[in-house]
Structure 1
Amino acid sequence: MKLYFPLIAVAGLAMLSACNKNDEPEVVGGPADPMAEKLANAAPVELPPSVKANKQYRCKDNSLIFVDFLSDDKTANLRTDKTGSPTKLVAPEAGKPYVAEGGYEVSGQGNDVTITVPGKGAQSCHV
């Protein structure tokens, strides 16, 4: 019994010494990636802006307007109904009014803004 343990240890060391000690990974077969060059030269991906603030405004005519201001400070989503589909408004640069085709406009980002929607004139709205 005592003779088996040293023999097992020597056999284990012999098997470990046969392992490949090369640090480079071995690539065995497989097709080359046809898009590798395109991906390496691709422009960096820019993520869409996240929602910075959700505001619910009560306007002068007693209507509610829902505006989501995005983190790029150039985009806002306006809804005239809480569950309605949003209208994307874009400002030419940060600090300028957000506008969209059809007559939508939001001036400001704080608790008091001026909002224009089609069929209604510009009106002051507050949180």
Structure 2
Amino acid sequence: MHNHSRFITAAVLGSALLLTACGKPETITSGDNDPDAATINAAAPVELPPMVLRSRTYRCKDASLVYVDFFSNNTAAYKTEKEGAATTLTAAEAGKPYIAEGYSISGDGPQVEIAAPGKAAQSCKA
């Protein structure tokens, strides 16, 4: 019986210690206390990159392969090698040819006309 009362006393004291260790809950409030608020408000708006609408590999009349990515901002990335450097061509508006100095791509579907520096325009199919 004596051990039983010691166990109850130890349990009560242990519970009391746990409760006092918790302390008072911390209150978090919103307001003008954000140290980064001025920096964030002064930052320029973020412009997302254009979306890739379609990526196509074309086989041209001269048997060459070209790789073209068409973007949502009326631009196209033209490459002659799959992992090569891209040339950016721009269309004045949707439906118009994509052009850059010496380059031209008419259309963005499964069949296009492509001209590149030193090459005549030729039909190419995806």
TM class by smaller structure: 0.7 to 0.9
Scaled by the length of structure 2, the TM-score of the pair is 0.73
Other structure's SS at 2:27 match: coil
Other structure's SS at 1:2 match: helix
Other structure's SS at 2:16 match: helix
Q: Name the larger-Rg structure.
A: 2
User: Percent sequence identity over matched residues?
Assistant: 47
More helix by proportion, 1 or 2? 2
Is 1:98 matched with 2:102?
A: no
- Count matched residues: 118
Segments of 4+ in structure 1 off by > 3 A?
none
Is 1:21 matched with 2:25?
A: yes
Deviation at 1:93, TM superposition (A): 3.0
Deviation at 1:118, TM superposition (A): 0.8
Scaled by the length of structure 1, the TM-score of the pair is 0.72
Deviation at 1:105, TM superposition (A): 1.6
Tell me the amino acid that sits aligned with residue 23 of structure 1.
T
Distance 1:57 1:6 in 2: 83
Q: CA separation of 1:68/1:3 partners in 2, compared to 1, >3 Å: closer, same or farther?
A: same
**Gap regions ≥5 residues in structure 2:** none
Distance 2:91 2:69 in 1: 14
**Gap regions ≥5 residues in structure 1:** 26-31
RMSD, matched Cα: 2.6
More strand by proportion, 1 or 2? 2
